Each structure stands twice: as C-alpha cells, then as structure tokens.
Amino acid sequence: MLDSDSLKKTFIAEINATASLAELQQLRVKYLGKKGLLTSQLKSLPTLPAEERRLFGKAVNELKEFIEAEIASRESVLIEEDRRKRLAAEAIDVTLPGKYTLFGREHPINKVLREIIDVFVTMGFGVEEGPEVELDYYNFEALNMPKDHPARDMQDTFYITEDVMLRTHTSPVQIRVMEKKKPPLRFIAPGKVYRCDADISHTPMFHQVEGLMVDTDVSFSDLKGVLETFIHRIFSPETPVRFRPSFFPFTEPSAEVDIGCIFCKGRGCQICKTSGWLEILGAGMVNPHVFEMVGYDPEVYTGFAFGMGVERITMLKYSIDDIRLFYENDLRFLRQF
C-alpha cells in the first residue's frame, strides 16, 4: 500500500536540501525517473483489487503532480540563486585602483647607438657589419699590425686560438668590406667589441662605431667636416672640436678628436683632468699599406677612417661616471633614459 504521507515528507526534506540544479536533477530521477520511486509504485497497480486501484491511482497521481510542481518551483529558485552568485562573482569594482603595465624602454647604449647611426645615414653613409669572433688577419695583420707589433699591446685581447679572437675593435670590418667592394665607399660599422679590461671606465664588452670613406679625392678636410657635423649633432652645435696628432698603425696621419669639456665648458675640471678637453674618438687618413692589403691602388685612392666608443659618448652625453652602470640592469638607472 502506498504510504503517500511519509513519501511526501521524505521528498520535502530532500528537496529542501538540494543546493544545485544538478542535485535537483538527481532528485527528479529518484522520484520520477523510469526506475523512480513513483514509477515503481504505479507498476503494482494492476495487482490491486479493482476498488483499491482507483484510490491508489489517484493518490499516486496527486503525489506525482505535487512532486513535479515542487521540483519546478525549486528549479526556478535555484536558477535565480545561480544567476545571483554568478553576477556577484563577475562584478567589477570600479573603485579598485587600476593594474598598470610597466613598459620596457630602449637601453641607453642602444639609444645613443641609434642616434649615431642616424647622423651618419643622413650624411649618406651605409651600415655594414662584421663577425665578433674574428681572425688575427682582419683584427690586426691587415690593419698594419703584424705579429709582435707593439700596437697590439694597447688592446688586451681575448684569444680563442692563436689565430682566432674576439675582435678588439670594429676596424676589421674596414678590411672585410674593402675586400668585397670597390670604391667609392662610404659606410659605418657599429658593433660589439671585446677587451680583457674591467674598471670604472672599461667593461670586457663594449660598443664601437667604425667609419670609412674611400674615393679618388677624399681629404683630411672631408674627415674634419664629417666629424664636426657628427659631434655638433650628437652633442650641441656650439661644442668646440679639436684634432690632436696621434698614432694608429692603420691611418697616416692619425688624430685623436677632442671636444670642449661639457662639464666645465673648457675651464678645466677633474673629469677633463684640467685640460678643458675630452677625447672622444680616433681617426685619420687610411694608411696606403692598408689599401695595398686589400688590393686598392694607393696612388689612385685616398680615404679617411674613424672609430669611437659608444659607451664613452653616452657617458659624456648623460654625465655618467661609471661605465658598469650600463650592464648592471638596475631599473632605477635604466628608467632615467
């Protein structure tokens, strides 16, 4: 016999305990499913005496309707609850402070390197590159520095084998380009160079920009004009420039180029060692011997060359007194550029 009341009570307790639509669905299957409690009750119907059948059937149907209605109303409650929870979770608190992205920026060395390249490119110079692992022939020999030449001592070299080294300057690119191309030539060669050296003004790796111009009538005044224009664009148009006699094996005559000290305006200070001048690059007219090494006729061609340190120029431009700051990756330093 159907105990309608106790089944109803159990059902009410169970439906009130459902906390999710999934649980409600389980409950629906438990009572109304093919093998559900009510369905199995109905199966016993044909075995009952005729007069009981009607009452029993009515009771089961009433219970079924009751359960269906309860499930439907519980369902709308749960759906509403679900929606409220989802909205609460998705809510955006517009009073919270925003998340901000830290933007990266160009490293000061790259920034100045790009400015230097720009200046020369606007003067019609091309840009060339060469390997950082270099042969003795290109780094020294073809630049008029044979083995045992004392000038090699000025550049403390990282040797890999006796004939292979990390290039100590960008000058070997001069040779590599002249071997491949015929004059007229006008290019710069920016890049990394390496020397076994480390202190407040030296790092084992640093950057140079080499320059070379070769034609049938290149003169020292062309060199002066190009370098003065360069200095006036990189520093300021009023910066005094002076060419001081010097020596490099690959140029003759050679010069070191100074600018009026930008710290004391030429009056003399600690940084310019009271001279009023700061050295910023080396230059000169290409040594005829170098032309011979690459098969150019020194009776036909003349040229000038120059080489500068990018770190040094950056330090002067921004009054930085320790070269190592460039490579410590301290954001407090790097964010100032």
List of residues 6+ apart from 270 with CB closer than 8 A: none
Q: Of the listed pieces 23-31, 53-61, 145-153, 282-290, which binds ligand DAH according to CB under 6 A? A: 282-290
- Pick between residue 293 and residue 305 the one whose CB is nearest to ligand DAH: 305
- State in Å, rounded, how far the first CA of the chain is from the last one: 90
Q: How far is the CB of 174 from ligand DAH (least distance, A)?
A: 7
Q: Of the listed pieces 56-64, 120-128, 277-285, 326-334, which binds ligand DAH according to CB under 6 A? A: 277-285
DSSP string, 153-197: GGS---BSSSSEEE-SSSTHHHHHHHHH-PSPEEEEEEEEEE-S-
Residue nearest ligand DAH by beta-carbon distance: 307
Do residues 143 and 172 make contact, with C-beta atoms less than 8 angstroms apart? yes
Q: How far is the CB of 176 from ligand DAH (least distance, A)?
A: 13
CA distance 37 to 303: 104
Do residues 279 and 309 make contact, with C-beta atoms less than 8 angstroms apart? no
Q: Which residues of 145-168 are buried (b: 16+ CB within 10 A; e: fewer)?
A: beeeeeebeebebeeeeeeebbbb
Q: Is 18 in the site for ligand DAH (CB under 6 A)?
A: no
CA distance 123 to 126: 9
Residues 178-217 touching ligand DAH, rule: CB under 6 A, are 210
CA distance 36 to 213: 96
Q: How far is the CB of 319 from ligand DAH (least distance, A)?
A: 24
CA distance 24 to 16: 10
Q: How far is the CB of 283 from ligand DAH (least distance, A)?
A: 5
Q: How far is the CB of 325 from ligand DAH (least distance, A)?
A: 22
- Pick between residue 65 and residue 292 the one whose CB is nearest to ligand DAH: 292
Q: Is 169 in the site for ligand DAH (CB under 6 A)?
A: yes
The alpha carbon of 245 is separated from its chain's Cα centroid by a whole number of angstroms, namely 41
Q: Which of 128, 284, 302, 315 binds ligand DAH (CB under 6 A)?
A: 284
Q: How far is the CB of 211 from ligand DAH (least distance, A)?
A: 7
Q: Of the listed pieces 11-19, 22-30, 220-228, 276-284, which binds ligand DAH according to CB under 6 A? A: 276-284
Treating both helix axes as pointing N-terminal to C-terminal, what angle do 108-122 and 220-234 enclose, rounded to 10 degrees? 140
- Pick between residue 190 and residue 307 the one whose CB is nearest to ligand DAH: 307
Q: How far is the CB of 274 from ligand DAH (least distance, A)?
A: 24
The alpha carbon of 4 is separated from its chain's Cα centroid by a whole number of angstroms, namely 75
Q: Is 248 in the site for ligand DAH (CB under 6 A)?
A: yes
| Per-residue contact string for residues 286-315; x = within reach of ligand DAH by CB under 6 A | -------------------xxx--------
Q: Is 171 in the site for ligand DAH (CB under 6 A)?
A: yes
Residues near ligand DAH, by CB under 6 A: 169, 171, 210, 248, 251, 282-284, 305-307
